[in-house]
Amino acid sequence: MIRAAKHSDVPRLIELGTMLHEISSYSSMAFSPEKSAAFLHELINGAGVVFVAEVNGEVVGGMAGGIIDQWFSDDLIAYDYSLFVEPSKRNGVVAVRLIRAFQEWAKIKGAKQIYMGIGTGVNVEGTTRLYESQGLRNVGPLLMMEI
């Protein structure tokens, strides 16, 4: 089941976020559970959106996103902050359902476009295929450098 996150979901989302951080391209950066939790609370309060996926009453994944006007236009774009499903629940429909909930939210909010990236470096090819299967198209790479 996919639903809007509640403030009581934040501790579990931080657990999932910690798992993602440890295996991602961001792992060389410090992870602040407190800062991350405060950010999720802001999104839940209306600064964006957070969806959670539940299986048998347990939160096994989540997706956070936002919406903003494009810098050169008054048109709105929706974008993801993060999409993560715990490893034991992957290869099913959980991620697809999270993406579809986000797409519906973006339409309701009046977005003209949705942007989703893969900045984690985790399963880039598989995640690209997943996003493409949900109607997104590859418009270019995201590059990073450690300094």
Task: Let me know if residue 140 belongs to a domain.
Answer: no
Residue 138 lies in a domain: no
Q: Is residue 128 part of a domain?
A: yes
Task: Give the whole-angstrom CA distance, residue 129 versus residue 47.
Answer: 29
In a domain, 104, yes or no: yes
**Nearest-angstrom CA–CA distance, 127 and 111:** 23
Comparing CA positions, the residue from 147, 79, 82, 66 lying closest to residue 120 is 82
What residues form DSSP beta bridges with 54? 59
Domain count, the chain: 1
What whole-number distance in Å separates Cα of residue 12 and Cα of residue 6?
11
- In contact, 52 and 13? CB cutoff 8 Å: yes
Enumerate the β-bridge partners of residue 82.
64
- Residue of 61, 79, 11, 68 whose CA lies nearest to 40: 11
Is position 34 within any domain? yes
Has residue 144 been placed in a domain?
no
Quick one: pLDDT at residue 89?
Answer: 86
Task: Tell me if 139 is assigned to some domain.
Answer: no
Span 42-67, average pLDDT: 97
- Tell me the per-residue pLDDT of 60-74, one tens digit each, with 9 for 90 and over: 999 999 999 999 999
Does residue 145 lie within any of the structural domains?
no
Distance CA 111, CA 58 (A): 31
Q: Which pLDDT does position 45 carry in this prediction? A: 98
Q: What is the CATH number of the domain that holds 87?
A: 3.40.630.30
Give me the domain span that covers residue 35.
2-133
For residue 100, what pLDDT band results from cuts at 50, 70 and 90?
A: very high
Contact 113, 77 (CB under 8 A): yes
